[in-house]
């Protein structure tokens, strides 16, 4: 069955020249290992970014959320032209089953996905609709409601600390997020 997140990531990568694609692959592995202690492929990063955009758009994609997406993509070295392509991808056929196909159930990658989705959506505050969608996504990737709530709360706190320029709090929240990711069962940590 086609998966709009995975298929769009593959199409986007195929449109890039080999040097840029290779640079993105290295950046994705390096950045995800640093951010979450797990290693993501560039296909996974783009797929997860598309999920984040899809969920953040639940109540309309705001300028803050769009800027957050672009900042995330820039962090992974995605060039502006590829960012434009990614932001223009039609995800109207996407559903929760497509999301659950992207990561192992209950894994650190599932936690990374939920936390990333919540972080992007929280850039303009989380609406009730976004909170409901994040809960649904958490359940679809095998996370308990308590874990989804904890990852969402960490994301909201990180956005507030970032807005306030509170580097010390961001450092503490990084440690909290790392501890949450380590709660993934070891056999599903990837």
CATH number at residue 113: 1.10.3680.10
- First-residue to last-residue Cα distance in the chain: 23
- Across the range 151-164, mean pLDDT stands at 94
Domain count, the chain: 1
pTM for the model: 0.83
Reported as a single tens digit per residue, the pLDDT across 94-140 is: 888 999 998 999 998 899 899 988 988 888 888 899 899 999 999 99
Rounded Cα–Cα distance for residues 180 and 189 (Å): 12
Structure tokens at 109: 């990658």
Asked whether the beta carbons of 154 and 180 are under 8 A apart, the reply is yes
Q: How far is CA 123 from the centre of its chain?
A: 13
Rounded Cα–Cα distance for residues 161 and 49 (Å): 22
Reported as a single tens digit per residue, the pLDDT across 18-47 is: 877 777 777 666 665 555 567 777 788 788
Rounded Cα–Cα distance for residues 182 and 159 (Å): 22
* DSSP per-residue string spanning 57-91: GGG---HHHHHHHHHHHHHTT--HHHHHHHHH---
Domain containing residue 82: 4-188
CA Rg, the chain, in Å?
15
pLDDT for residue 167: 94
- Across the range 138-164, mean pLDDT stands at 95
pLDDT for residue 37: 65
Rounded Cα–Cα distance for residues 134 and 37 (Å): 22
Would you say residue 12 has pLDDT above 50?
A: yes
Rounded Cα–Cα distance for residues 49 and 51 (Å): 5
pLDDT for residue 73: 78
pLDDT for residue 30: 66
Q: What CA–CA distances, in Å, run from 65 to 1, 61, 76, 151, 156?
A: 30, 6, 17, 18, 13
Mean pLDDT, rounded, of the chain: 84
Reported as a single tens digit per residue, the pLDDT across 49-99 is: 888 888 877 777 788 888 888 887 787 777 787 788 888 888 888 888 999
């Amino acid at each position: 069955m086609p998966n709009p997140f995975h298929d769009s990531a593959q199409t986007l990568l195929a449109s890039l020249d080999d040097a840029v694609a290779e640079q993105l692959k290295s950046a994705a592995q390096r950045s995800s290992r640093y951010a979450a202690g797990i290693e993501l492929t560039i296909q996974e990063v783009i797929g997860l970014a598309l999920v984040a955009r899809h969920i953040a758009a639940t109540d309309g994609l705001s300028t803050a959320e769009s800027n957050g997406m672009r900042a995330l993509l820039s962090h992974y070295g995605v060039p502006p032209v590829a960012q434009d392509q990614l932001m223009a991808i039609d995800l109207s056929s996407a559903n929760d089953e497509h999301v659950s196909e992207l990561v192992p159930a209950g894994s650190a990658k599932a936690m990374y996905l939920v936390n990333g989705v919540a972080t992007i959506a929280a850039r303009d505050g989380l609406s009730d609709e976004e909170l409901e969608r994040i809960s649904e996504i958490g359940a679809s990737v095998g996370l308990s409601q308590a874990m989804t709530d904890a990852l969402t709360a960490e994301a909201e706190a990180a956005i507030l600390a970032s807005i306030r320029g509170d580097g010390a709090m961001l450092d503490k929240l990084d440690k909290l997020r790392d501890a949450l990711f380590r709660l993934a069962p070891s056999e599903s940590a990837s």
